[in-house]
Amino acid sequence: MGQLCDVCTRSETDNNQSPDEFRKISKNSKNDELVRFFMAGLGSAGKSTIIRQLQYLCSINSNYKMCNEDWIPIQKREVDSITWQRTIRRNILDLFDIFIKQAHIDGETLANKALTVFAKSIEDACQEKEDSIDFIEINEDFRRKLIELFNDNAIKNVLKKKNKISIDGKTIFDGCDYFLTEEKIREIFSDDYEPSDKDKVHSRNPTVDMHTYRFKLNETRIEICDVGGQKAERMKITDYLKNWSFASTERDRNFILLVVSMSDYNVPHPQYQGTLLDECVEYMKVLLNNSVAQKCGLFIFFNKKDRFKEKLEDDECRADIKYLKRYLTERQVTEYQTAGRFKSNDMSKAIASKFVDALDELNQRRKNTYCRYTCAVDSKMMEGIFGAIKDEIINEQLLSIFP
């Protein structure tokens, strides 16, 4: 089982066409081979962040190019700036809503009545529909009160233990730390705010339906089909796979790319016994039992490496060994009981072993599965990972997780 982890240590142009029109292969292409990824995972695993990271890399690295359906490179993606502005502002207000609710749970009190009234107005707005932000008057008074709220001791105390926050129906997205500074909050709610590529990479914008993205890494053509990870979207996975397979040709190299949130290892499932990581394991089994997926290679991105390590090292968020104990050695458990925490590598291997056990049940996967530990919001890490995968695919040197 440990071999999986040994391998791991190595380091929009949105398309709303019908499925049969998702892709055209350019007749004039010098390289007819196409590497295709069907990217799946639970909601909030970081799939869309991976796409936005590739788009960002296209703007800073001349070896990365976004392409249209004819594989002609296109300039920086034209995105409705107002839509992104609204999305990111909503992200920030949702964060404040979570922090306010957690402060109530912890018995924290805001500094004064005026601030309490302002906090309640944010809670009310976040309970409404997505467009409720349009009805908030964002002016200098709003910005002043928001910064005052951010600096209030009650909110500061919540932020000290944000990894332990658990609010029904509300989650903290993995790129939130990037936005949680006074300077950034002022910028986002300024009158002339224009979201940057890095802002988009760190934001939360769930995928709905199925969307195809095309990139060239040097001359390697890579196509990624991103499907939503919410429960309603996962129920459509069979149809999505069928539509994706229809667009394939004999020369294509097809892979399933499963994105797993490592930080879900000890998050209790809201409906069933076990954790969100356990649900991802079960989702992988369903996905790989599909006849289309059985003909594809499999990549697993164990994502949110940063949030995972943060949870292990935070004194307020000690690891809960009951969820991974069967995958840890007696020595590792003893070390935890002595030091009060696990080593990151030990816990990473334990998480990966859950998936190895599941893959053991699918014999056809044994020689066709590869993985990486990733942090989708880290541009340098993702650039290295994409480059390594591209080189290995070209040279057919991908390593199996099994001997």
Binding residues for GTP: 226-230, 303-306, 376
> Contacts from 118-124 at CB under 8 Å and sequence distance 24+?
118/145, 118/146, 118/149, 119/149, 122/93, 122/96, 122/97, 122/149, 123/97
According to DSSP H, which parts of 17-105 are helical?
A: 47-60, 81-105
Q: Which residue has the tokens 């979207």?
A: 233
**Closest to 125 measured CA to CA, from 157, 89, 152:** 89
Annotated binding site for Mg(2+): 48, 207
State in Å, rounded, how far the first CA of the chain is from the last one.
Answer: 10
Helix (H) / strand (E) containing 68 = none
Identify the three-state secondary structure at position 67: strand
How far is residue 221's CA from residue 226's CA, in Å, rounded to a whole number?
16
Residue type, 400: S
**CA angle centred on 186, ends 182 and 192, rounded to 5°:** 160
CA distance 197 to 200: 5
* Cβ neighbours around 152 below 10 Å, total: 22
User: What token pair was written down for 135?
Assistant: 């009805």
The count of other CB atoms within 10 Å of the CB of residue 401 is 25
Q: Are 394 and 386 in contact (CB under 8 A)?
A: no
Q: Residues comprising the binding site?
A: 48, 207, 226-230, 303-306, 376
Q: What's the one-letter identity of residue 398? A: L
Distance CA 213, CA 69 (A): 9
| HEC per residue, 242-296 | HHHHHCCCCCCEEEEEEEEEHHHCCCECCCCCCEHHHHHHHHHHHHHCCCCHHHC
**382/388 Cα distance (integer angstroms):** 10
